[in-house]
């Protein structure tokens, strides 16, 4: 494992232990000051109460892991991203843009054994923390690809059933997604009935242009739901031109998924139906 420097959390509101990707002999006092002042420019880990959290800044939690159960989804937004299973309960290929603490990758690896998983991560320091967060080692059906995921998806020769986008910088949704024709490439990376699932966080003016572009590329076949516990929103965009949700069937599917995976899929189905009826995605784009 990569060397990690441990020190008591310097944040008065966040007690516990901080782990940093720093060499032995680094000055703990100087590092603590940089953390508190927001000048620390690497991902860091904050651990307390049986939970381990990945941060790029104190204001944004990238991922949280239950140390006793690394494959569990702790954060409500991550649980709701799995609502794609209501539309495709047994995907064959999943691409994840943004590894973070690996909670989505670990959950999919454990509970979807027939799925081939590719996780794309641009930050080598995030990848260096994968073992600390219990991310499974690469094997024949799971791999972490280091590098620019936006470029990888543009030039990918394979397609996926589900594209999970959880790509953030220190201040919110990665701006690089708008600086290229990423969403068009993402749509082409999907199979005929493929689904794009995207986590939105931060200020609305930061993510509204992303929502508008997704609506444009997917010809309004987009459903959004709020995640009130985390202050996030989740987008679901569907490539199939004939997509039309069968809500009665989805409600029955939700019961089976809840029994299989232990997440509240009946509530997710209700939120998706309400999100479509209320035009939540269109409102987020304004």
230 is catalytic: no
Residues 283 and 19: their CA atoms lie apart, in Å, by 40
Instruction: Classify the phi-psi angles of 258: left when phi > 0, otherwise alpha if psi is within -120 to 50, otherwise beta.
Output: alpha
Catalytic-role residue among 116, 138, 148, 166: 166
- C-beta separation of 221 from 238 below 8 A: yes
Handedness of CA 259, 263, 266, 268 (dihedral sign): negative
User: What DSSP string describes 250-268?
Assistant: HHHHHHHHHHHH-S-HHHH
> How far apart are the C-alpha atoms of 42 and 20, rounded to whole Å?
8
Tell me which residues are annotated as active site.
Answer: 166
């Amino acid at each position: 494992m990569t060397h990690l420097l441990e020190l008591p959390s310097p944040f008065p509101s966040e007690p516990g232990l901080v782990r940093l990707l720093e060499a032995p002999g680094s000055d703990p006092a100087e590092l603590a000051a940089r953390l508190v002042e927001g000048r620390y420019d690497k991902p860091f880990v904050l651990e307390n109460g049986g939970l381990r959290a990945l941060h790029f800044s104190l204001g944004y939690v990238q991922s949280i892991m239950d140390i006793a159960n690394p494959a569990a989804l702790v954060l409500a937004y991550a649980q709701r991203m799995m609502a794609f299973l209501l539309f495709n309960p047994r995907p064959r290929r999943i691409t994840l843009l943004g590894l973070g603490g690996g909670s989505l990758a670990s959950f999919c690896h454990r509970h979807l054994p027939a799925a081939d998983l590719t996780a794309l991560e641009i930050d080598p320091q995030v990848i260096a923390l994968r073992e600390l967060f219990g991310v499974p080692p690469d094997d024949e059906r799971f791999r972490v690809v280091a590098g620019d995921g936006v470029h990888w998806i543009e030039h990918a020769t394979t397609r996926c059933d589900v594209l999970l986008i959880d790509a953030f910088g220190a201040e919110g949704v990665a701006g690089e997604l708008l600086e290229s024709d990423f969403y068009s490439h993402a749509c082409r990376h999907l199979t005929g009935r493929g689904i794009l699932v995207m986590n939105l966080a931060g200020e609305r003016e930061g993510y509204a242009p992303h929502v508008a572009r997704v609506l444009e590329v997917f010809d309004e076949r987009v459903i959004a739901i709020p995640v009130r516990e985390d202050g996030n929103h989740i987008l679901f965009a569907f490539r199939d031109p004939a997509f039309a949700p069968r809500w009665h069937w989805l409600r029955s599917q939700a019961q089976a998924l809840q029994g299989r995976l232990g997440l509240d899929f009946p509530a997710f189905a209700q939120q998706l139906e309400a999100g479509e009826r209320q035009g939540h995605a269109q409102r987020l784009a304004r």
